[in-house]
Amino acid sequence: MAQIFPEWTNRLPVLVVTSAILFIILVVLGIWYYWSPWYTDVGYAPQQPVPYSHKLHVGELGMDCRYCHTGVEVSPVAMVPPTQTCMNCHVMIKPDSPKLAPIRASWEKKTPMFWVRIHKSPDYVYFDHSAHVSVGVGCESCHGNIATMEVVEQKKPLSMSWCLDCHRNPAPHLRPRDQVTVMGWQPPPDQEDAGKAIVKKFNIKPPVTCSGCHR
């Protein structure tokens, strides 16, 4: 009896199944990358109401992070500086600069500046700046080297897996507490041992359970 279908159609089921598997793998990989914070969040650098340069203030003038972000050592939030902090200097330094017009208006009208937030954890995540800074987690570990940024951008994904990598093995990420705000800090050759010493000194036990960050 003559065959209805040619011989090559015998391979169709294998080709269809193989193609379907490859397609599913590509979809999963695409979602894994293009929906991850490494793609969606890293590089976020919104325009601010005033073009504040961390490269100038921190990198060239040497201002300490804690001058503006006063709550970083004692509070869960680092806090954005009020207008008065800016005017402590700019009432005398470049007081007529056109770039500072929104700052002067905020100061004169006693209304807050509305800066665009860059680094933000989801509302269901509890993050305490003071708990990290007080044991030796450097600012640039999460925010990158701010002293080189003309425009601040997000450098790290701030995702759960990224946080857990550090919580499970904090020693490589710790530094002396007096070096926390130093930008461009280079770990010593014995960083692993130095970090372990800090872990022991401050009895650091980062939570890795759900309740540690989801309260």
Tell me the CA end-to-end span of the chain in Å, nearest whole number: 73
How far apart CA 185 and CA 65 sit, in angstroms, is: 14
pLDDT at 5 over 80: no
Q: Where are the domains of the chain?
A: 45-80+115-213
pLDDT tens digits, residue range 16-61? 899 999 999 999 988 888 888 999 999 999 999 999 999 999 999 9
How much is the pLDDT for 2? 64
Secondary structure letter of residue 93 according to DSSP:
S
Q: What is the pTM of this model?
A: 0.81
State the chain's mean pLDDT as an integer: 93
How much is the pLDDT for 1? 59
pLDDT at 11 over 90: no
Secondary structure letter of residue 4 according to DSSP:
S
How far apart CA 52 and CA 128 sit, in angstroms, is: 25
How much is the pLDDT for 160? 94
How much is the pLDDT for 33? 83
- Token pair recorded at residue 79: 């806090």
H runs (alpha helix) in 73-190: 83-90, 101-109, 129-133, 139-143, 160-168
pLDDT at 3 over 80: no
pLDDT tens digits, residue range 187-198? 999 999 999 999
Residue 28 CA from chain centroid, whole number: 25
CA-based angle 112:118:122, to the nearest 5? 105
